Structure formats: structure tokens, C-alpha cells
Structure 1
Amino acid sequence: MQGQTIGALFGFSVADADDPTPLDELPAPLRPVIDLESVARGCWLLQAVALFPEHRGQGHGPALVARACQAAREAGHRRIALQVESPNTGAIALYSRCGFTAWQRRVDVPFPGSDDEGDWILMGKDLSPGTSGPAAGK
């Protein structure tokens, strides 16, 4: 926005891993997140989207999500996915308005000392016409 940083996004292609680490070998709090990431194989995963508080509510969130969808298409993907915690209702509403739907859920396993609760939700959006859901492929 006129040379001013108002937020950022980060995402990447989720590779089709040949030999994924078994979930039971991972720390318990990572298991639901890694398990959902495995469902998103072949997708472009929007790992983070953030806006400075003073720039929220001005239409920049949907613009950042649209930019992420563009990046996914430019990388050759037909699907984009993200993970969000169920208590984050504002983010879920934003992603839903941008055309994302819930694909799968996993119970959140909080780190010791964390007060996180709820579920991790894998949301996704098909970027190509005529297909939907996580089975659509890259």
C-alpha cells in the first residue's frame, strides 16, 4: 500500500513425500498439524496470513488471500489449503468468504503450558473450475 507494509503472507507447495515420518514418532502437539498437512499433499499451503491491527477491516485480508491464490496458480497448483484453529472464528469467516471450505479436522493437542483448545481445521479451495475437495490433485 503505497510502499507501506500492512501485512504479509507465507505459503509453499506441499510435496508428495515418499517416506513421511510416522506420526507416532512426532511430538503429540505436532501430530494433528502434520497429519492435516499430509492431506494437503499436492496443494499450495497458505501457512500464514497477517495484517497489522490498524489495517484490519479495510478489505486487505481478502486481497492477501486472493494474492495467495494467484501465487498457487502461478506455481501450477489447482488447489490451495490452509490450517486454522477452530477458536479463530474471524479467520474462518474470512477464509469462508474467500471461497474456502472445511476439508478435515483434527483435535488440537496443546503444547505443555498452552491454553489452546478446539480443533485444527484444514480448509481448502479449488482453483480450477469443475473440481472440488482434497482428492482433486495438483
Structure 2
Amino acid sequence: MIPLQEPFRVADEADAHELADLVNFAGEGLPLHVWSGLAQQGQDPWDVGRVRQAEKARDGQVVVVDFGNGAVASLTGYTIGAEPEPVGDDFPSLFRPLQELENKALESWYVNVLACYPEYRGKGHGSRLLSLAEQIAQDENVNRMSVIVASNNSGARQLYERHGYEEMATRPCIKDDWETETEHWVLLLKSL
């Protein structure tokens, strides 16, 4: 990980509550839907999400923006390797279009989560986190960036396009029993 300066820091387990919120914002509500399916009888799905996010924080996978009162924005990402992930018949249908798009972004640094609490939007945090993501990618000798956005999330798409990302492919959103307004997933790429 590259050195971070305030207000950036690596997330820790204490950020799990905020990270679950932020992941759900970025995922258009799909994370909460998944957590609901994973929750045991009587278990709060948000608790499932918080446990999962605490694990990611323990592994040092998340950067947050924190002005001293907890995380207000977050970035999670990783390098997609050179080989596509198999998408066989047993692959979960909700995630099939997302994996198919990731497979079109081989050898890129994938912005998996970039999210901000609504009251902190429009203040440049997303742009600063995107710049940080590009620094991390370059530090890892990766020469292109990738992200998947929901077709109806015009704010996110505008942010990425302002930073030089271009549409490369789309896939229809498979909804199963997930209630969403998302019709398509859109893969955006940028060369560094």
C-alpha cells in the first residue's frame, strides 16, 4: 500500500458499520440483498455485512476518508489478473453479468467500491479517492483502471467519465428476486 496522508487511512474493524453502508451505496442495494440471503433466521442482514466488511478491513483492503469522526467515504479495489474467471452453469446468476464484464477488464486495477455518504458528496472525495486508486495501480505496475457502474447511476458515471473512463461493454442486469431499477451494468475503462 502506498503511504496515506490525512484524511485518508486504511480502514480497521471499527469501521465495519460505515463500510457496510458504503458498500451497499456503491452496490445499488445488491449487497444488502445478498446479506439477507446469507443471514441465519433472526439475524440482521446488516450484521452479516458488517462482519464481511470487518474481514476486509482486517486484511487491509479498504481505504477510507476520515476527518476524525469515522469513515465518510471508502475505496476498495484490486488487480484483475491476466486470466478470465470461469463463468460456468453453476455461477450465481445475479453475479454472472458482473463477472463477464470483469473478464473484459483483464490486467486492470478494478475499483470495486467507491462510495461516500450522501451528505459528503459533491465535495471532491470521490475524485480524490479515484486519484488515490490510480496511484495504487501505478505502484502495482498496472497500466489501466476499470469499474462497473449501474446504468441508472448517472452521478457515478459522470464522475468516472470526468476522470477519463470510457464505456467498453454492457450486460443486462439479472435481477432474480432482487428489486432494483438497474437495467444494465456498464464497464468503464481508463488507460494510465
1:123 aligns with 2:185: no
Q: Give the alignment's TM-score, normalised by structure 2.
A: 0.61
What is the CA–CA distance in structure 2 between the aligned matches of 1:115 and 1:93, rounded to whole Å?
21
Does the CA contact (< 8 Å) of 1:102 and 1:124 recur in 2?
yes
Aligned to 2:83: 17
Aligned to 2:110: 45
* Structure with greater contact order relative to length (CA < 8 Å, sep ≥ 6): 1
Does the CA contact (< 8 Å) of 1:23 and 1:31 recur in 2?
no
| 2:167 alignment partner, one of 98, 102, 112 | 102
Q: Displacement, 1:98?
A: 1.0
The one-letter code sitting in structure 2 at the alignment partner of 1:43 is S
Q: 1:116 to 1:79 in 2, by over 3 A?
A: same
Larger Rg: 2
Aligned to 2:130: 65
What is the CA–CA distance in structure 1 between the aligned matches of 2:147 and 2:168, rounded to whole Å?
10
Provide structure 2 residue ranges, at least 5 long, that are not aligned to the other structure: 1-6, 8-66
Does the CA contact (< 8 Å) of 1:108 and 1:116 recur in 2?
no
RMSD in angstroms over aligned alpha carbons? 1.6
Provide structure 1 residue ranges, at least 5 long, that are not aligned to the other structure: 128-138
Aligned to 1:132: none
**Stretches (4+) displaced over 4 A:** none
